[in-house]
Structure 1
Amino acid sequence: MKKINSIKPPQLPLRFFRWFCDPDLKEDLEGDLIELFERRAIKNERKAHSLFFLDVLRMLRPGIIKNFEAHKNLNNYAMLRNYLISAWRNLMKYKGFSAINILSLSIGMAACMVIYLFINDELSFDAFHKRKDKIYRLCEVQSFPGTNTQNVALSMPGMGPTMAAEFPEIETFARYRSFGDQLIEAGDNKMIIENVAAADSSFLTIFDFPVISGDKDNLLDDHFDAIVTEETAKKLYGRINVVGETFIINGDRCIIRGVMGDVPENSHLQFNVLLSIRISTQNTPDFDNQFGSNYLNTYFVLNENADLAEMEKRYPEYLSSHIDRDDINDLYKLYLQPLSDVHLASTDVEHDYNNYRKFNGKYIDVFVLVGIFILVIASLNFMNLTTARASNRAKEVGVRKAIGAIKSQLFKQFIIESILLAVFALLFAVALVFLSLPLLNNLIDRQLETQILFTNLEIFGIILLATLGLGLLAGLYPSIYLSSFRPVIVLKGFKSYEKKSYLRSSLIVIQFSLALGMIVCTLVVLQQLMFMKNKDVGYATDHILLVDMNEEASEKYEEIKQALLKESNVLGVTASGQRLGNNFHQWGFKVRKDTGIVNVTPSNVYVDYDYLDVYGIKLLSGRSFSRDYEADDGNAYIINKAFADELGFEEAVGQRAAHGWYPDDSLGSIIGVTENFNFNSLHFKVNTLSMVVHTDWGFSEMSIKINGSNVAQSLIDVEKVYDQFVTDYPISYEFLDDHIQQLYKSDEQMGSVITIIAILSIFIGCMGLFGLASISIQRRIKEVGIRKVMGASITELMTILSRNFALMILISFIIATPLTFLFLSGWLENFAYRIDINPLIFLLGAFIALIIALATISYHVIKAANSNPVNSLKCE
């Protein structure tokens, strides 16, 4: 026998009893209650626990409850408990429909949570800076003759200090310049460190990057001061405490004055080593007044009273006072870009080299709409299934009303069922997010984390309130509908309550309009991405290896090239000063015309002699560069068709031309015209371009065309040759097609997200159709039996039972088509090169939706059509 003392009653019901019971009776009744529990526990402990709460309620009969309010609260509590039990039983009774409702709603919720995490990640860029609302980046609109108008993120070195001195709205400024990947020598340790940059000493007072050691206010004061990140310190020295250590970069010995934490992922500026901006200006004493060349970024902190529009009015006067050109204000226009726009609103900004993971902010609105759409689809699905299932619960409502249940009680019961289902869906949605997030992070190249959903009380509260609100809203109409049944009618078996629901049909139309729109959007987005991926950009991109070159590699370029060409897996070698896939730098160019010398400013790139051959760039007229012509080194130019058209020559080949700084009497000549090729992203139109050979300038990058059928061995061959000639700079390379792919990463990520959401939308819609088809066909089961007895075939029954759903999809097509067309037309405006929207794409989308819908309901249709009519026609 069990020891009575070891068995204790549940404490929560016991506390409940003590709070409600009259104090004068509490001690005796509590003893009786515990004694009853102990007697039961001896026989069956589990049963004793389960009955204990009922025993508490029996003890608390109205005569011994301490006050009226307590009695009222107890009744309310008991009623709520009854509602919850009833709701749970109904959910279990209709397991299939409950599962469909919970799963579809949870998928919609999970999708919204993931979309929120994605949007929050993008909006969080640079938000950790305390003065983020006061920080602006100086940008320019360049309108040079002979080239496209461009928004550029670069500015001139003298603009920061002079504008800070002349514009009282500016509190302080900082300039930032990126040097890319650099070889650093720290004692015996030599390695290439990525993202080396330089900045003014005020940089760390403007931006709140985490400084671990060192005086934040005095860092980068001297020419050779440096700051390293925690990770870089460990790489170079194996420890973090490195203040006072030195390293050599490009022949300069720098002293580490500070160590900072690793730069956050959500910063548009990314660097591992930060040098003083003065390190590159030792031979430029007038650096703070240098104008004419744009090669760095300038940031300002504005005061509270700053008026951007008023400042813009004074920019022309400022430019005229510092740059001695009559047409300076025709060439340049300045504007300030808020820090919050740098990451999300810079897709039209070129020469934007210091903008990590730049994203098209217009897609944020798209993702918000997508999240709303899928949640609406899931909610409509829930409402449809709940109202459709109402007929199955009509007799339950009739019985409840007949024994005294009032309309408000029934309303509360069904609302609680709806909220309970929404809560279950939330729990399941959280599980889905946890399971799917790692895969999604790999797909969209993010580090999204779920912690913010639950650690941030505000966000958690919004999610919880939204869930309860969704349950309330989604269950509102079904609750009103169910509680309005008349008991006399439903208990007699009359079916007047089953008449056709136009609201339900309308909800299905809205649901499939959204799903159809998502299908068409997915098809068009994927078509545009495929168009950009497969568009002939005018040069070869496959199996081109891009190898960084330092000074030593550049000096030994010819030797490296000849050695590489001897390797069987190397098909071609060339070099250039800039990489394809970005807009090339603009500088002055002059052409002799009948009217005299004309100055223009195209994009320019200096290349090796066989650049066109290696990249497969086609000539329209003239010839390529050749070592057989002495003038081809520095005095011969190949231009693209866009530039030839801009110059207006009937025949550009042979015309006299030169760089803008050449004297008018020492012009070279144009020797060839190429087809237009997209040396920049397809988001921009082809710009005017001039190519020239300058063997004495040195190259920054070598392009090696390798054997695509033997890539692994090709890389080994290239590394072997490189290491023979370059001893101080480890090889660093990237494939050109990988670089090109990065240009469209934001668009591809949008395509991936839209595709996933479209699939989920269709899945949710089909789940709803599956349930609705089951209910609809079950109602018509006798009709099916009669038609079968009369000789109807399965095909005819399929047609009869499916045509209502097909009609609703047709109406959805009519509604969705114009709205989707307008949205897609606006989205395609982001691309200079884009597809035309084919009207057949909408018919294809409708066909896909129709096939999926019919396939979904076909199970129930075929099952009903194949059923024995005797079973459906027999008397109940």
Structure 2
Amino acid sequence: MKSTPPRWAQRLLAWLHPANTLEEVEGDLDELYAYWHQRAGKTQATLRYLLNVLSVLPPFVRRRQQPHSYPQPSLFHPDMIRSYIKIALRNLWRSKGYTAVNVVGLSVAFCICLFLFLTAYRQFTFDSFHKDGDRIFQTYLFANDPERVSRTGGMPLPLMPALKADFPEVEAAARIMSGRTSLVEYRGKYVDKMVIQTDPDFLTLFSFPLIKGSSDVALRDLSSIVVSEAMAKAVFGNEDPIGKHLLIGSEGNKKQYIVTGIIADSPDNSSVHYDALVRIETAPNYQTDKDNWYANSHRVFIRVAPDVDQTAFEARLKPFAQKYFANTIQDLRKKGAKPDERSDVFAIRLQKLADVHFDRDISNGKGAPIALIYVLIGIGVFILSIACINFINMSIARSFTRAKEVGVRKSLGAQKHQLFGQIWSESTFICFIGFVTGITLTCLLLGTFNSTFQTKFTLTYAFQPGFIAWMVGVFVVVTFIAGGYPAWQMARFNAVEVLKGKVSLKRPGLLRNSLIVTQFTMSSLLACCTLIAIQQVDHLRQQPVGFDKEQVISIPVGNQVNGRQVLGRLRNRLTNDPTVLAVTGTSTNLGKGKDRVTSRSTFGFTYKGKQITTDWLLVDYDYLKTLDMKLLAGRDFDPAYAADSVNRVVVTESMAKLIDAKQPVGAFIRDDSDTTGAKSEIIGVVPDFQLYSVADEARPIAMHISNREDIHYVFVRVAPQSLAQSMDKIKKIWQEVAPQSEFLGSFLDENVDGWYQNEQAMSQIFSLAASIAMLLSCLGLFAIALLVIEQRTKEIGIRKVMGASVVNIIVVLSRDFVKLVAIALAIAIPLAWFGMQKWLDNYAERITISIWIFAGVGLASLLAALATVSFHSIKAALMNPVKSLRSE
């Protein structure tokens, strides 16, 4: 039976408050009176009732005197904001543990996201500084070869002039030929710089500012050179470079240039890098290949008119391709090539400048795969989501411990928007502290990040307007989601039910369980991907590369000395050294050495109607011996045969199969269209070996010797004993035979590891992300378990009194959380298997995903969750039941 207040108390309330304005208050107070009457007796209930009446009296008395002029406080009123801040700081200070857990989780998440999003932002802003970037394209050749669809950015020299002549909508076009650095000499000073060959349109096609000189005349003459700011300072110091003469090239092959302009340095996020620009006509092979449509040696960029559509322009290029590449198209059709979905067997196509960096096929393998960038963003979102889930779960869990506070506030007249503002302000404080701490951690760890992932980030990247807007947006979204939802939930509490004790955390809600499942799904998914990526990297490293990479020292020659002369001197010094087994030279390094230079020379020709593209590798005598490569047929290069250095080659097994000769040794390879009679005789066949990374297209290899071409690397095979001493000895000898060149020797096995740099970086990122994700997930579970067990203190005491053992109580308290982790694993494992299968499909050599990886991750996740929850469960189970029941 419902108890009601005494009539005199009701009349007092009716006199003080008009019924039409206090219906909700009266109803609430009546229900509170009934509740207190049942619990504490009539007299005490009446007194509590009057106290509540008096507590709401002042504002409503004013309202009675001025019925329609009482101002409702605004959520954003300065006085309200100050009040929110004061109360928020007090509450956070009283709940130091709750605050610390959330701040640590958010700061770590923000720090990781700053690094990952900074990396992604840099990649997505590549080439964005060009004024007409949306109208600039790089051309590439597409061939729907039955053996393998190919896309290459290497263009023949006559293509660009033909494009400008045949298509008036091409406003500007430039060829860019770049390779290794060149030796620059000025008044006895020598520096290595990247000098690229290009066309005069380069200065108007791109938006690199010309600081001195005129874009119309700077590259007008073949003897003109435009230098970058950095090169001008390094070479000329404080002198004015304009009009000065420079010598460029190695000894015996130097050319003189006159400085006609200074151009700004190319930004780090540019697809085109340079130290100086010269005319492409000065390239060594220009005169012989200027009309050759089958010698691909450079990249071509064009800018089209504003109203030109890319698809329509590519359609107009079809007759152009049929005109100039008729033989190539005919050869492809003979091989059985079929038109693709765009009806092309062979085509010239365009790639937007903004996308060139992501296209490894046409950017000389220097681009970053866009899929990897999206993976980085996804990992950042995962980490931030886990931190937000922790924040939401803990805020909701904590809201039940503050439920009576909210109930009293509402019964005293607080509005929902006021409660929302108060609680959200506390969440905003925590997010802000976490955000600032995350930024501080980023600044402190920037050097470590750069050294680990071989990047060159500086703090200036983080202060770019676009990135600041991006991160502010992330902060606002996190604050709105992580703080707004719990505040909204608490503001909706019913005051009467809260004060009656009907709102508690003893029963797990669907939202809380869903969030816990989500965060453990993310962390388990990252853990599975990490183990698979690590296994794939180890698998790639263990694959045979076709040569013995152990005990071989690779030494970059540099541009300040003649490679052939240095190789000869080194051979003479090491001939009688018992610890040196062989010495040779080559034009291309194996792996990535300390000079970080990667170059590639290819040779394409038509052989008996078949289009063949091979890696054209310059070597010296004893190359096979130094790398311990065995001959399958024929012989090695021999100084006793003078013709070996003119027109003879040693080819790999795959090259021998392409020419389809029963006896490849003694066969001749030549271009069907070559009427000069030039040909090369095959004198030996070796097994296929890895000349470049597995991420690059594998081609057959033809090795040749030439006395006219430069040697860029020296290989020295040493005895297995005392490798460190051998390196020191060769370094000392190198300083004697090549004093002008810095010694950058490294072992080939270290260089080959550099091929898998991207895969290694990916596995490191996955490892770091998985560790942090699991740590944050367990941290959130730790706090949730603490709050839940605090709510169940009375239940635990009763169970112990009834005879439950410690193990029984631990099982009861832990099983719900373990079930959630098991559900998360059931979701994460299939997703990990599917995603990593797609990733592994990019590799010719790949692992088979083992079920034990998922079993290990599942067991580790369950044990981590069980250990996290058990800490509180054991503590609660060992509590004295009398104490827990009394405190309850």
Q: TM-score range by the shorter chain?
A: 0.7 to 0.9
Q: d(CA) in 2 for partners of 1:600 and 1:455?
A: 47
Residue 275 of structure 1 aligns with which residue? 278
- Does 1:172 find its partner at 2:172? yes
* Gap change, CA 1:211 and 1:469, over 3 Å in 2: same
* Residue of 566, 587, 592 corresponding to 2:603: 587
Residue 860 of structure 2 aligns with which residue? 848
* More divergent stretch after superposition (222-231 vs 490-499): 490-499
Q: Is the 8 A contact 1:155 1:294 kept in 2?
A: yes
Q: d(CA) in 2 for partners of 1:742 and 1:342?
A: 23
* Gap change, CA 1:703 and 1:141, over 3 Å in 2: farther
* More divergent stretch after superposition (465-474 vs 73-82): 73-82
Q: Is the 8 A contact 2:143 2:347 kept in 1?
A: yes
Amino acid at match of 1:554: R
Q: Is the 8 A contact 1:420 1:471 kept in 2?
A: no
Partner SS, residue 155 of structure 2: coil
* Residue of 401, 404, 416 corresponding to 2:413: 404
Equivalent runs, 1:119-198 vs 2, <5 Å? 119-141=120-142, 149-189=149-189, 191-198=190-197
Residue 203 of structure 1 aligns with which residue? 202
Equivalent runs, 1:775-786 vs 2, <5 Å? 775-786=787-798
Q: d(CA) in 2 for partners of 1:318 and 1:742?
A: 41
* Gap change, CA 1:851 and 1:194, over 3 Å in 2: farther
* Gap change, CA 1:292 and 1:729, over 3 Å in 2: farther
1:427 to partner: Cα distance:
2.6
Q: Is the 8 A contact 1:121 1:448 kept in 2?
A: no
- Does 1:571 find its partner at 2:595? no
- Does 1:511 find its partner at 2:519? yes
* Gap change, CA 1:341 and 1:131, over 3 Å in 2: same
Q: Is the 8 A contact 2:294 2:605 kept in 1?
A: no
* More divergent stretch after superposition (636-645 vs 216-225): 636-645
Equivalent runs, 1:643-654 vs 2, <5 Å? 643-647=655-659, 652=663, 654=665
- Does 1:448 find its partner at 2:462? no
Partner SS, residue 874 of structure 1: helix
1:75 to partner: Cα distance:
11
Residue 298 of structure 2 aligns with which residue? 296
Q: d(CA) in 1 for partners of 2:866 and 2:328?
A: 71
Residue 479 of structure 1 aligns with which residue? 487
Residue 431 of structure 2 aligns with which residue? 422
* Gap change, CA 1:557 and 1:487, over 3 Å in 2: closer
* Residue of 744, 759, 763 corresponding to 2:756: 744
Partner SS, residue 295 of structure 1: strand
1:162 to partner: Cα distance:
1.5
Q: Deviations over 1:713-767 (max 9, x none)?
A: 5455445555665687776666545554444333333333332222221122111
1:465 to partner: Cα distance:
5.3
Q: Is the 8 A contact 1:126 1:339 kept in 2?
A: yes
* Gap change, CA 1:260 and 1:741, over 3 Å in 2: farther
Residue 14 of structure 1 aligns with which residue? none
Residue 383 of structure 1 aligns with which residue? 392
* Residue of 816, 831, 835 corresponding to 1:823: 835
Amino acid at match of 2:129: F
1:573 to partner: Cα distance:
1.2
* Gap change, CA 1:235 and 1:625, over 3 Å in 2: same
Q: d(CA) in 2 for partners of 1:819 and 1:430?
A: 32
- Does 1:806 find its partner at 2:814? no
1:137 to partner: Cα distance:
1.6
Q: Is the 8 A contact 1:544 1:737 kept in 2?
A: no
1:577 to partner: Cα distance:
3.7
- Does 1:334 find its partner at 2:348? yes
Partner SS, residue 257 of structure 1: strand
* Gap change, CA 1:217 and 1:364, over 3 Å in 2: same
- Does 1:767 find its partner at 2:779? yes
Q: d(CA) in 2 for partners of 1:822 and 1:263?
A: 41
Amino acid at match of 1:132: G
1:327 to partner: Cα distance:
4.4
* Gap change, CA 1:495 and 1:292, over 3 Å in 2: closer
Q: d(CA) in 1 for partners of 2:599 and 2:225?
A: 31
Q: d(CA) in 2 for partners of 1:298 and 1:94?
A: 63
* Residue of 532, 537, 542 corresponding to 1:534: 542
Partner SS, residue 536 of structure 2: helix
Q: Is the 8 A contact 2:504 2:791 kept in 1?
A: no
Amino acid at match of 1:540: D
Q: Deviations over 1:245-302 (max 9, x none)?
A: 2122232222122223333212222222322323336x96687545332222221111
Q: Is the 8 A contact 1:654 1:670 kept in 2?
A: yes
1:480 to partner: Cα distance:
4.1
* Residue of 686, 701, 716 corresponding to 1:689: 701
* Residue of 874, 878, 885 corresponding to 1:862: 874
Partner SS, residue 317 of structure 1: helix
Q: d(CA) in 2 for partners of 1:122 and 1:206?
A: 22
Q: d(CA) in 2 for partners of 1:811 and 1:299?
A: 53
Amino acid at match of 2:858: A
- Does 1:256 find its partner at 2:259? yes
Residue 341 of structure 2 aligns with which residue? none
Amino acid at match of 1:843: A
1:774 to partner: Cα distance:
0.6
Residue 368 of structure 1 aligns with which residue? 377
* Gap change, CA 1:731 and 1:225, over 3 Å in 2: farther
1:517 to partner: Cα distance:
0.9
Q: d(CA) in 2 for partners of 1:734 and 1:196?
A: 26
* Gap change, CA 1:789 and 1:722, over 3 Å in 2: same
Q: d(CA) in 2 for partners of 1:744 and 1:275?
A: 34
1:812 to partner: Cα distance:
0.2
Q: d(CA) in 1 for partners of 2:458 and 2:664?
A: 59
Amino acid at match of 1:587: F
Q: Deviations over 1:192-213 (max 9, x none)?
A: 4132222222212222223332
In the superposition, the TM-score normalised over structure 2's length comes to: 0.81
1:680 to partner: Cα distance:
2.3
Q: d(CA) in 2 for partners of 1:87 and 1:549?
A: 64
- Does 1:225 find its partner at 2:224? yes
Amino acid at match of 2:92: L
* Gap change, CA 1:570 and 1:184, over 3 Å in 2: farther
Q: d(CA) in 2 for partners of 1:875 and 1:307?
A: 77
* Residue of 809, 824, 836 corresponding to 1:797: 809
* Gap change, CA 1:564 and 1:194, over 3 Å in 2: farther
Amino acid at match of 2:556: V
Amino acid at match of 1:343: H
* Gap change, CA 1:127 and 1:740, over 3 Å in 2: farther
- Does 1:91 find its partner at 2:92? yes
Q: d(CA) in 1 for partners of 2:422 and 2:84?
A: 5
Residue 314 of structure 2 aligns with which residue? 312
Equivalent runs, 1:18-97 vs 2, <5 Å? 76-97=77-98
Q: Is the 8 A contact 2:606 2:671 kept in 1?
A: yes
- Does 1:658 find its partner at 2:669? yes
Q: Is the 8 A contact 2:247 2:256 kept in 1?
A: yes
1:148 to partner: Cα distance:
5.5
* Residue of 360, 363, 386 corresponding to 1:347: 360
* Gap change, CA 1:570 and 1:228, over 3 Å in 2: farther
Amino acid at match of 2:353: L
- Runs (5+) with no aligned partner, structure 1: 1-57
Q: d(CA) in 2 for partners of 1:465 and 1:697?
A: 56
Amino acid at match of 2:263: M
1:674 to partner: Cα distance:
3.1
In the superposition, the TM-score normalised over structure 1's length comes to: 0.82
- Runs (5+) with no aligned partner, structure 2: 1-58, 333-344, 592-597
Instruction: Give the percent of matched residue pairs that are identical in Structure 1 and Structure 2.
Output: 30
1:523 to partner: Cα distance:
1.7
Q: d(CA) in 2 for partners of 1:338 and 1:484?
A: 52
Residue 436 of structure 1 aligns with which residue? 445
